[in-house]
């Protein structure tokens, strides 16, 4: 595919329908040439018949049977169960805006912009459906094929095709269910060895001299130092490779199904987690081109994806090893996760993590985002078009302008906006 420059925005269909003139204003002020609509339409009976749910709402037993399992055997987190109960199957809500989707597509066609449909996948914040469960994958394939073919759209943009974000550490150590055990074997991995290696690394972290670890970290530790410090076995790396291989295979299957139903010209792509952390959620930049016509580095969620993760891991370290205090834990986390040296907060309190809407004013947001965008461009195949997702509201304007300019300079191919109130003066209803 030619590397087309795109300026896009995510919009719900009812926003497009309820705000005549908005798309034209975005075309004029931002050079908008792409709109990504969230799929919110009713599904035909032929697709609904493939739902792995046993009803709406589904039973607790059915839900637990579909969710990922932590390596301790428990479920990952029951917090999002109510969301699941309001769905007809994984990632599709029971409430549908049929008319709005059709009218929105018509309005966008008239405006002359490219249209991508955005569909969900395995995760809903902390909740995740097992990516090895055949019923889950049959359902998602049917939903993706339907949303790419039921309306006049140019592409399918899959979101939430990942494991739970790093700020929910239990998600990092899932899924170990029987389906995943089988898939691991098929992909050449040994589930028992991976679990044993993860447990051994954790035990080592608990026993290591935390004071010396902090000091060595401040002096400068590299990848091989960490391998020795935690006595890492290959099973630890295998665990993260296995999860990424699994998602790459599944997305390749969805991509083939969509193109075989809608034609080769139908684009297929997905958003991707901030590069420094993406292997922790099963997303491998280096293999994205195997199934995707484009990638959208999702660097807009600076609190949920990034800062909350840094804070949670620092807390985890202080709990695991009593000799590591909070400031040291933050420094270790910044260094090991690739965010050191940019002036991130020295204490957890400074983040004021419960006020995410103003977080961009307390951290060096441009440096933070650019660090992941430089890595993303380095790691993605050079031929794969890349459209970073950033905020056009709630971030300092000079940081937004700086990110747009710098990301083009390092080779990204445009921007996808999440919100535009700070960029375009339009009274949105
Ligand atoms: Zn599983």
- Ligand 1: centre distance to CA 280 (Å): 16
The candidate with the shortest Cα–Cα distance to 295, out of 235, 232, 379, is 379
Q: What is the pTM of this model?
A: 0.96
Distance 68 CA to ligand 1 centre (A): 5
C-beta contacts of 241-244 below 8 A and 24+ residues apart: 241/189, 241/284, 242/184, 242/187, 242/189, 242/194, 243/163, 243/282, 244/279, 244/282, 244/283, 244/284, 244/287
Task: State residue 197's pLDDT score.
Answer: 97
Distance in Å, CA 184 to ligand 1 centroid? 10
Nearest to 283 by CA among 171, 142, 365, 418: 171
Query: 347 is written with which tokens?
Result: 């204490």
State the distance from the centre of ligand 1 to the C-alpha of 165, rounded, in angstroms: 17
- Interval between CA 282 and ligand 1 midpoint (Å): 13
Residue tagged 């699941």 (tokens): 84
Per-residue model confidence as pLDDT tens for the chain (429 residues): 457 999 999 999 999 999 999 999 999 999 999 999 998 788 999 999 999 999 999 999 999 999 999 988 887 777 788 889 999 999 999 887 667 899 999 999 999 999 999 999 999 888 999 999 999 999 999 999 999 999 999 999 999 999 998 888 788 899 999 999 999 999 999 999 999 999 999 999 999 999 999 999 999 999 999 999 999 999 999 999 999 999 999 999 999 999 999 999 999 999 999 999 999 999 999 999 999 999 999 999 999 999 999 999 999 999 999 999 999 999 999 999 999 999 999 999 999 999 999 999 999 999 999 999 999 999 999 999 999 999 988 999 999 999 999 999 999 999 999 988 888 989 988
CA pair distance 394, 264, nearest whole angstrom? 39
First-residue to last-residue Cα distance in the chain = 37
Q: How far is the CA of 383 from the centre of ligand 1 (A)?
A: 33
In the three-class reduction of DSSP (H, G, I as helix; E, B as strand; rest coil), residue 57 is classed as coil
Distance 304 CA to ligand 1 centre (A): 24
Q: What's the CA-to-centroid distance between 91 and ligand 1, angstroms?
A: 17
Query: Residue 109 in contact with residue 142, Cβ under 8 Å?
Result: no
* Superfamily the domain 6-207+240-301+363-418 falls into: Glycosidases (3.20.20.80)
Output the CA 57–ligand 1 centroid distance in Å: 22
CA of 61 to the centre of ligand 1 (A): 16
Residue 347 Cα to ligand 1 midpoint, Å, equals 36
SS3 158: strand
DSSP state of 240: H
Q: What is the pLDDT of residue 42?
A: 87
State which residues have CB under 5 angstroms from ligand 1, the bound ion. 130, 132, 175, 177, 179-180
Q: What spacing in Å lies between the alpha carbon of 251 and ligand 1's midpoint?
A: 16
Relative to beta strand 92-93, strand 87-89 is antiparallel
Residue 187, judged by CB atoms within 10 A of its CB (0-12, 13-18, 19+), counts as: middle
What's the gap in Å between 423 CA and the centre of ligand 1?
43
- Cα of 183 from ligand 1 centre, angstroms: 9
Cα–ligand 1 centroid distance for 302 (angstroms): 28
Q: How far is the CA of 299 from the centre of ligand 1 (A)?
A: 27
Ligand 1 mean position, distance from CA 164 (Å): 13
Query: What is the distance in A from the centroid of ligand 1 to the CA of 130?
Result: 4
Q: How far is the CA of 244 from the centre of ligand 1 (A)?
A: 13
Annotate 369-429 with three-state secondary structure: HHHHHHHHHHHCCCCCCECCEEECCCCCHHHHHHHHHHHHHCCCCEEEEECCCCCCCCCCC
Q: For residue 342, give every residue at least 6 positions away whose Cβ sits within 8 Å of its Cβ, in sequence order, or none.
A: 364, 367, 368, 371
Query: Separation of 389 CA from ligand 1 center, angstroms?
Result: 29
Backbone angle region of 5, left / alpha / beta, with phi > 0 → left and psi within -120 to 50 → alpha: beta
């Amino acid at each position: 595919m030619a590397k087309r420059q795109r300026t896009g925005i995510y919009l719900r269909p009812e926003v497009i329908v309820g705000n005549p003139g908005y798309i034209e204003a975005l075309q004029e002020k931002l050079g908008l040439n792409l709109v990504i609509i969230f799929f919110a339409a009713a599904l035909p009976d032929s697709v609904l018949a493939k739902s792995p749910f046993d009803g709406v709402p589904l039973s607790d037993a059915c839900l637990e049977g579909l969710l990922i399992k932590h390596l301790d055997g428990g479920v990952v987190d029951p917090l999002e169960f109510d969301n699941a109960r309001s769905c007809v199957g994984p990632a599709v809500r029971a409430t549908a805006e049929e008319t709005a989707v059709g009218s929105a597509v018509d309005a966008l066609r008239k405006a002359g912009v490219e249209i991508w449909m955005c569909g969900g996948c395995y995760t809903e914040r902390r909740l995740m459906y097992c990516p090895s469960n055949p019923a889950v994958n049959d359902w998602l394939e049917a939903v993706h094929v339907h949303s790419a073919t039921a309306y006049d759209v140019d592409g399918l943009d899959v979101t939430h095709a990942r494991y739970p974000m790093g700020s929910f550490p239990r998600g990092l150590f899932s899924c170990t269910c029987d389906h995943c055990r089988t898939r691991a074997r098929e992909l050449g991995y040994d589930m028992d060895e991976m679990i044993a290696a993860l447990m051994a690394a954790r035990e080592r972290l608990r026993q290591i001299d935390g004071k010396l670890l902090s000091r060595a970290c401040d002096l400068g530790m590299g990848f091989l130092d960490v391998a020795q410090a935690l006595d890492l076995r290959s099973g630890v790396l295998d665990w993260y490779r296995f999860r990424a291989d699994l998602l790459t295979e599944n997305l390749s299957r969805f991509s083939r199904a969509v193109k075989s139903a809608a034609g080769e010209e139908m684009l297929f792509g997905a958003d991707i987690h901030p590069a420094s952390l993406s292997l922790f959620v099963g997303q491998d930049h280096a293999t994205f081109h195997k199934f995707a016509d484009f990638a959208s580095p999702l660097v807009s969620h600076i609190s949920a994806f990034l800062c909350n993760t840094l804070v949670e891991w620092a807390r985890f370290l202080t709990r695991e090893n009593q000799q590591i205090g909070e400031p040291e834990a933050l420094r270790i986390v910044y260094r090991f996760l690739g965010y050191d040296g940019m002036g991130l907060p020295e204490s957890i309190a400074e983040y004021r993590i419960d006020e995410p809407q103003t977080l961009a004013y307390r951290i060096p947001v441009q440096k933070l985002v650019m660090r992941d965008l430089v890595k993303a461009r380095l790691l993605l195949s050079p031929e794969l078009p890349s459209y970073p997702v950033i905020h056009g509201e709630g971030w300092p304007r000079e940081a937004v302008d700086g990110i747009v300019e710098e990301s083009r300079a390092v080779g990204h191919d445009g921007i996808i906006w999440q919100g535009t109130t700070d960029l375009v003066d339009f009274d949105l209803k």
